[in-house]
């Protein structure tokens, strides 16, 4: 049974099981395979009705329809006088914003003073703006001026009638979509919810602020991961810093693994004494889906499914390696939960000598230019300098000697 078959056969969980993925020699899985496994290990989250502000950043699960005619009434497009018949007109009333329509039917030779957006009286044939009106004060106010038939009246439903589909399913809910939705009468929207990712940063040596003391290092992953997750379409919790040790990791995974769709664990993914992720996952009964990926940097990365259904992505502690792993396993899983296809990058030439590795895919920091992708350097596993200079990572397959490479976009 393929991973895709399992995706189709399991109806209840959004995260699907699978055997540990290693190649037949027991090594790390190829980079492309790892991405595909992560994408296919999940199913799209079910649609949810969310209040407008919470729907921001999601995608519409169904077409967005008008719930009212727009405009809701025949309304004035100008401040002035709603008039009936030929000039002059005797002003018989006033309708300001937010008020109900003037009672009764306007008869020829009469007018009602009216505000922009207010419903015009029955019988009104046009609106004469203040600037175009000549007023004559007598026992009653009388106005005259040129007011062609139908001028400055917006007819009920002329923009759209109730039921019109104004935006297609899949449209991203931008701030302007929220405004449109409110104008069409929506308090909630049916959207594809954003997957939630919990972020755990492990390591006794990792500190969250200030200058690191001897043996310590500033956390460089907690600050970039939430933005990367948001860029991929998910939401991220505040990073939680954990000391090395199985107890803290077990407690945090038990707590967050239940509520988050994905838990990203930084550090603890390699083979050292303080690298507790594998034993903790085994004790929790997790299903290991990927255990090591043939990619440089970032090969000690891991994908697992907790018994409750949540995914765990293990990211190496070296920051550029963590970025590599996040793009390999975390971003495809988030996209899968959103129902989005695997993101295939553009292809371009890569200048300079081949940086290919004999057996692993290499991800190198590049900038796009008129002569193709150009390496920016500074992309060692422990450094984000190159990634910060870059606008993409070039995917260099094992033994690559060709011209074109795929570019993985980076958040702008």
Report DSSP letters for 41-67, one per residue: TB-PPPPEEEEHHHHTTSEESS-EE-S
Please choose, from the candidates 270, 298, 314, the residue with its C-alpha nearest in 3D space to the C-alpha of residue 362. Answer: 298
Binder among 66, 220, 293, 392 for ligand LQZAQKY5 (CB under 6 A)? 220
Are the beta carbons of 64 and 167 closer than 8 angstroms? Answer: yes
Whether residue 329 contacts residue 226, with contact meaning beta carbons closer than 8 Å, is answered with no
**Closer residue to ligand MOO, CB minimum distance, 129 or 381:** 381
Is there binding between residue 273 and ligand LQZAQKY5 (CB under 6 A)? no
CB of 320 to ligand MOO, least distance (A): 7
Q: How many residues bind ligand MOO (CB under 6 A)?
A: 9
Identify residues 296-335 at the interface with ligand MOO (CB under 6 A): 296-300, 316, 318, 321
Minimum distance between the CB of residue 394 and ligand LQZAQKY5, rounded to whole angstroms?
19
259 in helix, strand or coil? helix
DSSP secondary structure, 74-91, as one string: -EESSSEEEE-SSSPEEE
Report d(CA 26, CA 21) in Å as an integer: 9
Q: Minimum CB separation from ligand LQZAQKY5 for residue 199, in Å?
A: 10
Hey, which residues between 346 and 405 contact ligand MOO (CB under 6 A)? 381
DSSP structural state of residue 131: G
Beta bridge partners of 144: 134
Q: How far is CA 122 from the centre of its chain?
A: 47
Q: CB of residue 353 vs ligand MOO: minimum separation in angstroms?
A: 20
Choice between 126 and 318, CB closer to ligand MOO: 318
Rule CB under 6 A: say whether 217 interacts with ligand LQZAQKY5: yes
Quote the strand ranges of 216-286, DSSP E. 217-218, 235-236, 240-242, 262-266
- Compute, in degrees rounded to 10, the torsion defined by CA atoms 20, 21, 26, 29: -150
Taking the complex as a whole, the smallest distance from the CB of residue 271 to ligand LQZAQKY5 amounts, in Å, to 4
Residue number of the CB atom closest to ligand LQZAQKY5: 317
Residues of span 284-343 touching ligand LQZAQKY5 by CB under 6 A? 297, 299-300, 316-319, 321
Q: Which does 227 bind (CB under 5 to 8 A by kind): ligand LQZAQKY5, ligand MOO, none?
A: none
| Token code pair at residue 385 | 């300098």
Judged by CB under 6 A, the residue of 47, 71, 203, 310 near ligand LQZAQKY5 is: 203
User: Residue 72 and residue 82: Cα distance in Å, rounded?
Assistant: 18
Q: Considering the complex, state which of residue 271 and residue 371 has its C-beta at the smaller distance from ligand LQZAQKY5.
A: 271
Pairing of strands 287-291, 206-207: unpaired
Does the footprint of ligand LQZAQKY5 cover residue 199 (CB under 6 A)?
Answer: no
Q: How far apart are CA 372 and CA 348, in angstroms?
A: 6
Residue identified by tokens 């920016």 is 376
Exactly one of 40, 263, 269, 328 binds ligand LQZAQKY5 (CB under 6 A); that residue is: 269
* Among 227, 272, 279, 411, contact with ligand LQZAQKY5 (rule: CB under 6 A): 272
217: partner contacted, choices ligand MOO, ligand LQZAQKY5, none (Cβ within 5-8 A by kind): ligand LQZAQKY5
Q: Interface with ligand LQZAQKY5 by CB under 6 A: which residues?
A: 201, 203, 205-206, 217, 219-221, 266-272, 275, 297, 299-300, 316-319, 321, 381
């Amino acid at each position: 049974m393929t991973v895709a078959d399992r995706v189709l056969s399991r109806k209840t969980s959004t995260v699907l099981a699978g055997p540990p993925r290693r190649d037949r020699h027991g090594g790390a899985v190829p980079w492309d395979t790892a991405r595909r496994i992560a994408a296919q290990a999940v199913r799209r989250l079910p649609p949810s009705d969310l209040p407008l502000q919470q729907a921001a950043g999601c995608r519409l699960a169904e077409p967005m329809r008008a719930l009212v005619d727009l405009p809701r009434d025949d309304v004035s497009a100008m401040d002035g006088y709603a008039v009936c018949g030929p000039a002059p007109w005797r002003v018989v009333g006033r309708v300001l914003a937010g008020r109900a329509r003037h009672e009764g039917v306007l008869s020829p030779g009469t007018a009602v003073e009216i505000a922009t957006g207010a419903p015009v009286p029955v019988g009104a044939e046009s609106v004469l703006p203040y600037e175009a009106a000549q007023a004559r004060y007598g026992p009653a106010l009388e106005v005259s001026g040129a007011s062609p038939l139908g001028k400055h009246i917006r007819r009920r439903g002329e923009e759209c009638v109730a039921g019109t589909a104004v935006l297609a399913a899949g449209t991203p809910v931008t701030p302007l979509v929220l405004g449109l939705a409110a104008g069409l009468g929506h308090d909630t929207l049916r959207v594809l919810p954003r997957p939630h990712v919990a972020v755990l940063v492990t390591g006794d040596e990792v500190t969250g602020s200030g200058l690191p003391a001897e043996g310590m290092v500033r956390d460089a992953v907690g600050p970039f991961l939430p933005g990367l997750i948001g860029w991929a379409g998910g939401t991220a919790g505040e990073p939680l810093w954990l000391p090395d040790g199985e107890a803290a990791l077990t407690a945090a995974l038990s707590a967050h693994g239940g509520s988050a769709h994905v838990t990203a664990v930084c550090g603890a993914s390699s083979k050292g004494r303080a690298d507790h992720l594998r034993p903790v996952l085994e004790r929790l009964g997790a299903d290991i889906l990927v255990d090591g990926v043939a990619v440089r940097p970032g090969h000690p990365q891991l994908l697992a499914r907790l018994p409750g259904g949540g995914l765990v992505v293990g990211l190496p502690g070296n920051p550029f390696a963590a970025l590599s792993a996040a793009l390999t396993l975390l971003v495809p899983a988030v996209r899968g939960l959103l129902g989005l296809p695997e993101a295939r990058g553009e292809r371009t030439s890569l200048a300079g000598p081949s940086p290919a590795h004999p057996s692993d895919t290499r991800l190198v920091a590049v900038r796009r230019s008129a002569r193709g992708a150009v390496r920016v350097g500074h992309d060692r596993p422990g450094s984000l300098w190159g990634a910060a200079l870059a606008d993409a990572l070039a995917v260099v397959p094992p033994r690559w000697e060709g011209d074109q490479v795929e570019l993985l976009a980076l958040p702008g």
